Structure 1
Amino acid sequence: MWSEERPLELIDEALGDSIIEEVIRCIQIGLLCVQERAKNRPDMSTVVLMLNGERLLPNPKQPGFYPHNEASSTGKSEPSSSNEISISLLQPR
């Protein structure tokens, strides 16, 4: 929705009109924080300045988890992940 210039559709109507600009600013900052290349992501001190409105916000680039393999470009939706994680369940003694 952001790339299609429809960010208002991301916002819950229950929030009202008074904070729309703030919510859109937070969405844009969030997209900046998940860019694919780490060098394009802002550091936390820059994020704080952005949240306070003390910095101009650049346009976000490609997000880090955007599906960009051949299956997604052909229209086939096959789940894929290069992440290898394990989940540990903690058991009390």
Structure 2
Amino acid sequence: MIRFITEHRDRFGVELICRVPRPAVQGFLTSRGYRAAVGRMPSARQLKDELLVPQVARLHAENYGIYGRRKIHALMRRQGWQVGRDRPSA
């Protein structure tokens, strides 16, 4: 959601984007929450994901795009990556 607001804030404004879906979606992001999220430092998980996603994409491509989640996970573990099965995939 943060990415969507960032991409469209120049056209519609943060307050309007956050106000319109709020009645339909409980717990929807407020404009204040958006600004807090944008200013926050990336979490440890986000930083590790930035390292893992290119590796997963590379391994997937090296295996002709046919390896699925389980095989990519096993391959990464064999190569020494400490990842769980719930990490992002390409």
What TM-score, normalized to structure 2? 0.31
What TM-score, normalized to structure 1? 0.31
